[in-house]
Amino acid sequence: MSIGPLDSDAVESYREAGAILVETMNEAREMIEPGVTQLEVAEYAEDAIREAGAGLAFPVNISVDEAASHATPARDDDTEFGEEMICLDIGVHVDGYIADAAVTVDYTGSDDLVEASETALEAAVEAVAPGVPAGEVGGAIENAIESYGYTPILNLTGHGVERYDAHTGPSIPNRAVDRSVELEVGDVLAIEPFATDGRGKVGEGATEEIYEQVGDGSVRDRRARQVMDELEAFDDLPFAARWLDSSRSEMALRTLKNAEIVKGYPVLKEADGQLISQAEHTMIVTEDGCEVTTAGIHDFD
Residues in the annotated binding site = 70, 89, 100, 159, 167, 192, 280
Distance CA 213, CA 257 (A): 9
Residues 75-94: x where in contact with Co ion by CB under 5 A, - otherwise, as a string: --------------x-----
State yes or no: is 260 an active-site residue.
Answer: no
Residues in 247-286 at the binding interface with Co ion, rule: CB under 5 A: 280
65 is catalytic: no
Residue 99 or 256 with smaller CB distance to Co ion? 99
CB closer to Co ion, 46 vs 249: 46
Q: Any contact of residue 100 with Co ion (CB under 5 A)? A: yes
Distance between CA atoms of 84 and 86, rounded to whole angstroms?
Answer: 6
Toward Co ion, which CB reaches closer, 256 or 276? 276
Enumerate the known binding-site residues for a divalent metal cation.
89, 100, 159, 192, 280
112 is catalytic: no
Residue-wise DSSP of 87-143: EEEEEEEETTEEEEEEEEEE-SS-HHHHHHHHHHHHHHHHH--TT-BHHHHHHHHHH
CB of 61 to Co ion, least distance (A): 7
Catalytic residue among 115, 280, 281, 291: 280
Q: Are 140 and 123 in contact (CB under 8 A)?
A: yes
Which of the ranges 95-103, 115-123, 178-186, 246-254 carries the binding residues for Co ion, by CB under 5 A? 95-103
Q: Which residues bind Co ion (CB under 5 A)?
A: 89, 100, 102, 280
Which positions are catalytic? 89, 100, 159, 167, 192, 280
